[in-house]
Amino acid sequence: MSVGGLLRTETLSWMSYVDNVTGDYSQDLVLQPIWDYFRQNYHDLLRSPLFPVVLSVTTYFLLVALYTVLDLLAPTWPCINRYRLHPDRPITWPNIWPTLGVTIYNHLLYIFPAAVAQWLWRPPTPLPPEAPTLFSFFLGILGCMVVFDFQYYLWHLLHHRVAWLYRTFHAIHHQYNQPFSLVTQYLSGWELFSVGFWATIDPILLQCHCLTAWSFMVFNVYVSTEDHCGYDFPWATHNLVPFGLWGGAPKHDAHHQRPGTNFAPFFSHWDWLGGTHTVPAASSHSVTGEPEEMKGRKD
């Protein structure tokens, strides 16, 4: 056998070994029945260009509704209030109405027209018969998270360092130095567009399966809402990911208290490398004063 033929044989053997190690055949058995069920029963819905928008918006409002109920119950339910980052500063209806108003305004003015345009001009989503393997599913979500994390870190850093960008596009988000769930999308149209664009385009750039792309969108909405929720639950993502690698609500709360820190939405490594990382103060669960740089802004 020639050297080239031997190398080809060895390469094919190695690829077969890798497939067995990653368990492609067994992984297919995990997601394939789920994917088959959705394709057979919700084929037209899944193919619609509107589906990702409806999925993201529905996920967001369900999460916000849950956290808002917790916020309103917390002052009289100690079992909830104990997990709030600021247990002595309750979230009230005067806090809720302005943020809800801006959220609805943004959805009517930006999200709805963008969804209609996508429905009119974007072709239906192709639904491949094969489900992603578990390995490619989780690797795709992780890849999208890493890319999105880098994109938003740079965007966020730039919009804090350039005064005109901050005043014009990002200052509205920092009107509240005590985040709660509805502050998540208390944003300018430009920031909302940027975040939505990356969440949509990153799975396409990484050539993810549509099931992986939709799962990333849901997870992205979940993490964004969790970062702003104002709670430090034991099951929160930052308490599950070890070594302080994940940001989470306490670090993002610290960003709203000290706006020159903690810019990354997911991981902590860019803030470590960029010198913008800060650890929430041990007393952050009972902060009553307003940081100097946030004077005059709303709670």
pTM beyond 0.75, yes or no: yes
Give Cα separations from 263 to 115, 180, 211 (angstroms): 29, 17, 29
Q: What is the mean pLDDT of residues 254-258?
A: 94
Residue whose C-alpha is closest to residue 27's, from 16, 19, 37: 19
3 state DSSP class of 84: strand
> What are the pLDDT digits (tens) for 144-201?
999 999 999 999 999 999 999 999 999 999 999 999 999 999 999 999 999 999 999 9
Q: Is the dihedral of CA 21, 219, 58, 126 positive or negative?
A: negative
> What are the pLDDT digits (tens) for 86-142?
999 999 999 999 999 999 999 999 999 989 988 888 899 999 999 999 999 999 999
Q: What is the mean pLDDT of residues 37-47?
A: 96
> ∠ at Cα 133 (130, 139), nearest 5°?
130
